[in-house]
């Protein structure tokens, strides 16, 4: 085992001990075990390519990921470190499962606070069973809860994030999108401001894929990604429409029983409208897993987090013209107080 990996494992263990002093020891212990397991399971891409037992399809995917990472560094100015130079093959469909929870008649998500990440709207588990057990506790307390699988996440540069079997088979442009997004979190991350962080990373991801496709894509790849992006836009539009309808319902002065009835009706309509949207896509089922659990407020609580300020960041990139200038401008925004940062981003959205 390499010395760097040993240091990383020691850091993970120390972090778990520190965090355990301010919350559940069991929760942080599973987080440390999960991160350590991911690090120790990962092997350099070159080792996988040199291994005669490596599947030919995986070889192609790893070579593609290596090229995408090189593009990210040279053309997008993203960090050139140990991230995405290793690959880990997992025996589960997701690297972890996130829990999102809200009150029964509100879209405001519960928050969990951590020393590095700050306060976020989710709580992650490396075991689906552990996630479901905690979700059941929250439901018993009257909360709406969603448990969702996560294919990738960023450790914000604290560790060398590996390529993982949970996403390595994505189509080329979608693989590029994910790598660009997660590396962006290593450029700028503001603890406690998920809207800023996710919108910034989404803007880098979008602009990065456009440039990557222009240089390395072909007509079929560009057409397929355009379909992917259009479906994603349609689906987000649908969710935002129902999120707004629920917000109006919860803000009304109607009795709680009436708001519950309206809530139930809106979720039935959302599922019906999704089936119509799916039919318009020719039966594409990529978003079916969103409906794997009964719909709840938790499903819609974080929808806007990834999209609210994307137009602002795209406008900022257009103004600065280079990624280096764009990152500097974003860092200046990150240094502001949250209220002022959001005010300026909203002004950029309005102008955009």
pLDDT tens per residue across all 352 residues of the chain: 444 444 444 444 444 444 444 447 889 999 999 999 999 999 999 999 999 999 999 999 999 999 999 999 999 999 999 999 999 999 999 999 999 999 999 999 999 998 778 899 999 999 999 999 999 999 999 999 999 999 999 999 999 999 999 999 999 999 999 999 999 999 999 999 999 999 999 999 999 999 999 999 999 999 999 999 999 999 999 999 999 999 999 999 999 999 999 999 999 999 999 999 999 999 999 999 999 999 999 999 989 888 889 999 999 999 999 999 999 999 999 999 999 999 999 999 998 8
User: Tokens 């009835």 label which residue?
Assistant: 261
pLDDT value for 22:
46
Calculate ∠ Cα 101-103-104, nearest 5°: 115
pLDDT value for 25:
82
pLDDT value for 7:
46
Q: pTM for this one?
A: 0.90
pLDDT value for 107:
97
What are the start-end ranges of the E strands in 128-285?
144-150, 163-164
Dist. CA 49–CA 248, nearest whole Å? 55
pLDDT value for 110:
96
pLDDT value for 304:
82
Kindly write down the DSSP assignment for every residue of 168-212, as one continuous string.
TTS-HHHHHHHHHHHHHHHH---TT-HHHHHHHHHHHHHHHHHHH
Helix (H, G, I), strand (E, B) or coil at 270: helix
Residue 113 pairs in a beta bridge with 119
Put the strands of the sheet holding 163-164 in their side by side order. Answer: 43-44, 86-88, 163-164
pLDDT value for 4:
45
pLDDT value for 105:
98
* DSSP 8-state symbol, 339: H
């Amino acid at each position: 085992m390499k010395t760097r990996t040993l240091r990383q494992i020691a850091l993970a263990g120390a972090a778990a001990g520190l965090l355990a002093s301010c919350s559940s020891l069991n929760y942080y212990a599973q987080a440390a075990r999960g991160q350590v397991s991911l690090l120790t399971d990962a092997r350099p891409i070159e080792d996988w390519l040199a291994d005669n037992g490596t599947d030919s399809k995986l070889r192609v995917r790893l070579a593609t990921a290596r090229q995408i990472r090189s593009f990210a560094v040279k053309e997008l100015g993203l960090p050139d470190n140990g991230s995405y130079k290793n690959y880990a093959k997992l025996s589960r469909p997701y690297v972890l499962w996130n829990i999102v929870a809200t009150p029964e008649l509100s879209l405001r998500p519960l928050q969990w606070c951590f020393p590095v990440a700050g306060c976020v709207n989710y709580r992650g588990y490396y075991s689906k069973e552990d996630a479901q057990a905690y979700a059941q506790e929250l439901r018993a307390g009257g909360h709406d809860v969603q448990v969702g699988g996560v294919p990738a996440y960023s450790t914000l540069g604290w560790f060398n994030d590996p390529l993982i079997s949970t996403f390595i088979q994505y189509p080329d442009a979608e693989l590029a999108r994910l790598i660009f997004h997660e590396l962006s979190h290593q450029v700028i991350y503001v603890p406690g401001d998920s809207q800023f962080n996710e919108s910034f990373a989404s803007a880098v991801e979008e602009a990065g894929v456009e440039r990557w496709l222009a240089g390395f894509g072909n007509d079929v790849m560009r057409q397929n990604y355009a379909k992917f992006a259009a479906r994603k836009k349609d689906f987000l539009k649908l969710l935002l429409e129902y999120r707004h309808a629920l917000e109006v319902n919860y803000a009304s002065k109607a009795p709680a029983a009436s708001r519950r009835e309206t809530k139930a009706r809106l979720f039935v309509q959302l599922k019906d409208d999704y089936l119509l949207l799916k039919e318009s896509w020719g039966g594409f089922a990529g978003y079916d897993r969103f409906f794997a659990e009964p719909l709840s407020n938790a499903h819609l609580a974080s929808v806007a987090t990834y999209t609210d300020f994307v137009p602002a960041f795209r406008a900022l990139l257009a103004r600065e013209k280079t990624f280096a200038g764009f990152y500097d401008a974003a860092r200046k925004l990150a240094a502001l107080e949250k209220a002022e940062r959001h005010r300026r981003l909203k002004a950029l959205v309005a102008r955009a």
